[in-house]
Amino acid sequence: MDLKPFIREIPDFPKPGISFKDITTLLQDPTGLKATIDLFAEKCSDLNPEFIVGMESRGFIFGAPLAYKMDIGFIPVRKPGKLPAAVHAIKYDLEYGTDCLEMHQDAVHPGSRILMVDDLIATGGTAGATAKLIQTIGCELVGCAFVIELKDLKGRDRLPQVPIISLVEY
């Protein structure tokens, strides 16, 4: 199923010249949402992950139902201070500063097979940092799955050499 008709494009948001890809229209349509999760499951099943890692916050929206459908665990990766137990953390550079992502230390064990899921890959900063965090703690990143990929921004170049699945490309 072609998911593009479910994604609204908003010109000049958040600033002039940007064409924002709005997934809220995909989420509110039961056919589009179900098709998204079903397509992810179909395209990712051969990767045999043990866990899905979803990045705050839209990675939660797609990662948790995909984990349910695949009958595997879901692990949230969050901004600092949001997780209550001991965490693994990674700092990464942004265009104008730095940011940090965290995952509970007891969420996975070294060697766990992880599929990373998010709504969109653009420049690859957050996805690249999450991939590095997964690998740094000794887990195997078996693939990355995104609803949308903005090809011109070359975000996949910041990811390890693993299967990268994009359902919609712009």
Whether residue 12 is contained in a domain is answered as: no
Which residue among 42, 50, 78, 95 is the active-site one? 95
Strand partners, 166: 146
What local confidence, expressed as pLDDT, does residue 97 receive? 85
Helix, coil or strand: residue 24: helix
Whether residue 127 is contained in a domain is answered as: yes
Whether residue 3 is contained in a domain is answered as: no
The model's pLDDT over 101-117, given as tens digits with 9 standing for 90+, comes to: 999 999 999 999 999 99
Q: Which of 79, 42, 37 is nearest to 62 (CA)?
A: 37
Put simply, whether the predicted model's pTM sits higher than 0.85 gets the answer yes
d(CA 100, CA 139): 19
Which residue among 58, 113, 140, 156 is the active-site one? 58
Whether residue 136 is contained in a domain is answered as: yes
User: How many domains does the chain contain in total?
Assistant: 1
Whether residue 120 is contained in a domain is answered as: yes
Whether residue 39 is contained in a domain is answered as: no
Whether residue 22 is contained in a domain is answered as: no
Asked about 58 being catalytic, the answer comes back as yes
Give the CATH number for residue 68: 3.40.50.2020
Q: The domain containing residue 82 runs over which residues? A: 48-169
In the predicted model, what is the mean pLDDT of residues 87-99?
Answer: 90
Whether residue 34 is contained in a domain is answered as: no
Asked about 95 being catalytic, the answer comes back as yes
Does residue 95 carry a pLDDT above 80? no
